[in-house]
């Protein structure tokens, strides 16, 4: 199995080191891995003057799956937009057609205290956000900043979805719902936006092929409210790129820390890029303080979704659970009475639990 490893910036390299340790610990058991490293984001800009160097894209295309750390850093914030680290991420998603972004939010019972919500609101939480990842406001043309007829500067972006783009991600959401509790809530803003009106129509049409799935629809403002009011009402949330970006950060906080959640971005053939949903956290980079569990759990998702090695994915997830049960915590999830450890020690603990 050829895996392209793109550590990126900030805490990316240190959390990646831990995930690689874990992959190496399970490899050789019916699963041989070949890791190939390349630069992306700020690291890509530093190495090749491009946040997505041509060599990195080539490697990613040739790989079976991609494991990514994080991109971004203060020192790149003043670069022209096309050179910024985030563009490396957006371009690789688009180039590889990774249109379906799966962001699970699961609460480990021991971490109920780490959430800012009441334990009874979040206990047992297990939801999956399926976010469309290669269209919408993020990529819609026209876009830009111009001087308008009144001589005033004006910024504009375009929200757009074609029906085929909605249909293919709706299929993924519905298929995932079939494997879970068969409930799918499609989130949009159809009371105001035509793009959302079409989204809703296409989701309804597509869902006819999955009669067992209980389909509901919710406006995004209400969904944002319901996520903190009663998040356990949701099983699978299907939504567009911009709404999914916002709602998935909100959902991560229900679980106590954004440092716990992995993600998968899949193409039509289940080739995927796997990454923690957190960012590069430049303020704590290099201090051995980051939580590597989101990246380790992303590696488990890779085994599950791209390599169909469910047993190995289960083993890694169980090892993470054991480590948490043993009271080991990085700073972001540390509560009184638990043992605070660093990033590398957390990686070692998961390997030991394996």
Angle value at C-alpha 173, between 171 and 177, nearest 5 degrees: 115
Give least dist CB 14 to ligand IPM, A. 18
**Residues contacting residue 3 through CB under 8 Å, at least 6 positions apart:** 23, 33, 34, 35, 36, 63, 64, 65, 66, 67, 302
Give least dist CB 42 to ligand IPM, A. 12
Contact set for Mg ion, span 175-194 (CB under 5 A): none
Q: Pick from 20, 26, 68, 89 the residue near ligand IPM by CB under 6 A.
A: 89
Site of tokens 């067992």? 212
Size of the site for Mg ion (CB under 5 A): 1
Q: Is 275 in the site for Mg ion (CB under 5 A)?
A: no
Site of tokens 């990646």? 16
Binding mask 41-80 toward ligand IPM (x if CB under 6 A, else -) reads ----------------------------------------
Kindly state the DSSP code that residue 157 receives in the 8-state scheme.
Answer: -
Binding mask 275-314 toward ligand IPM (x if CB under 6 A, else -) reads ----------------------------------------
Q: Which residue number, 73 or 347, has a Cβ lying nearer to ligand IPM?
A: 73
Q: Which residue number, 22 or 98, has a Cβ lying nearer to ligand IPM?
A: 98
CA distance 161 to 186: 15
Site of tokens 């950060």? 249
Stretch touching ligand IPM by CB under 6 A, among 82-90, 117-125, 196-204, 214-222: 82-90
Give least dist CB 24 to Mg ion, A. 29
Structure tokens at 175: 């298929």
Catalytic residue positions, numbered: 138, 189, 221, 245, 249
Nearest to 316 by CA among 21, 5, 68: 21
Q: Is 245 in the site for ligand IPM (CB under 6 A)?
A: yes
**140 preceded by a cis bond (ω within 30 of 0):** no
User: Torsion angle, CA of 5/8/12/17, rounded to 10 degrees?
Assistant: 30
Choose the one of Mg ion, ligand IPM, none that binds residue 254, judging by a C-beta under 5 to 8 angstroms depending on kind.
Answer: none
DSSP string, 315-332: HHHHHHHHHHHTTEE-GG
Give least dist CB 89 to ligand IPM, A. 5
Residues 78 and 114: beta-carbon distance below 8 Å? no
Q: Pick from 9, 132, 245, 275 the residue near Mg ion by CB under 5 A.
A: 245
Cβ neighbours of 351 (radius 10 Å): 18
Q: Is 98 in the site for ligand IPM (CB under 6 A)?
A: no
Q: Which residue number, 206 or 239, has a Cβ lying nearer to ligand IPM?
A: 239
Q: Which residue is nearest to ligand IPM (CB)?
A: 86
**Which CA distances in Å does 153 have to 69, 140, 146, 147, 278?**
37, 20, 6, 4, 33
Kindly state the DSSP code that residue 270 receives in the 8-state scheme.
Answer: S
Q: Which residue number, 86 or 267, has a Cβ lying nearer to ligand IPM?
A: 86
Q: At what angle do helices 241-254 and 220-229 cross, to 10 degrees?
A: 10
Q: Which residue number, 280 or 323, has a Cβ lying nearer to Mg ion?
A: 280
Binding mask 216-235 toward ligand IPM (x if CB under 6 A, else -) reads --------------------
Stretch touching Mg ion by CB under 5 A, among 121-129, 134-142, 216-224, 240-248: 240-248
CA distance 15 to 285: 10
Kindly state the DSSP code that residue 230 receives in the 8-state scheme.
Answer: -
Q: Which residue number, 50 or 245, has a Cβ lying nearer to Mg ion?
A: 245
- Where on the chain is the footprint of Mg ion (CB under 5 A)? 245
- Where on the chain is the footprint of ligand IPM (CB under 6 A)? 86, 89-90, 245
């Amino acid at each position: 199995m050829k895996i392209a490893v793109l550590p990126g910036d900030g805490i990316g390299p240190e959390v990646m080191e831990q995930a690689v340790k874990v992959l190496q610990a399970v490899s050789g058991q019916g699963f041989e891995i070949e890791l190939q490293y390349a630069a992306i984001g700020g690291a890509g800009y530093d190495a090749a003057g491009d946040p997505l160097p041509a060599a990195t894209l080539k490697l990613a295309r040739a790989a079976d799956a991609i494991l990514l750390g994080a991109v971004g850093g203060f020192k790149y914030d003043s670069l022209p937009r096309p050179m910024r680290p985030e563009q490396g991420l957006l371009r690789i998603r688009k180039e590889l057609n990774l249109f379906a972004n799966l962001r699970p939010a699961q609460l480990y019972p021991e971490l109920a205290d780490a959430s800012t919500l009441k334990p009874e609101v979040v206990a047992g939480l297990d939801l999956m956000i399926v976010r469309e990842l290669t269209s919408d406001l993020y990529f819609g043309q026209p876009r830009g900043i111009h001087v308008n007829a009144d001589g005033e500067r004006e910024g504009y972006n375009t929200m757009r979805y074609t029906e085929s783009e909605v249909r293919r991600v709706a299929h993924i959401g519905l298929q995932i719902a079939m494997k879970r509790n068969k409930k799918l809530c499609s989130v949009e803003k159809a009371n105001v936006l035509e793009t959302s009106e079409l989204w809703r129509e296409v989701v309804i049409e597509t869902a006819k092929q999955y009669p067992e799935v209980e389909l509901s629809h919710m406006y995004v403002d209400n969904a944002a409210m319901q996520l903190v009011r009663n998040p356990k009402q949701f099983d699978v949330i299907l939504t567009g790129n911009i709404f999914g970006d916002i709602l998935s950060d909100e959902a991560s906080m229900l679980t106590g820390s954004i440092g716990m959640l992995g993600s998968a971005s899949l193409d039509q053939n289940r080739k995927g890029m796997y990454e923690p949903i957190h960012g590069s956290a430049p303020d704590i980079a290099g201090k051995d303080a980051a939580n590597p569990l989101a990246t380790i759990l992303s590696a488990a998702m890779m085994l599950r979704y791209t390599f169909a090695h469910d047993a190995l994915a289960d083993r890694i997830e169980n090892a993470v659970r054991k480590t948490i049960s043993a009271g080991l915590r990085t700073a972001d999830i540390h509560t009184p009475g638990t043992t605070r450890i660093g990033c590398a020690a957390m990686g070692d603990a998961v390997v030991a639990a394996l």
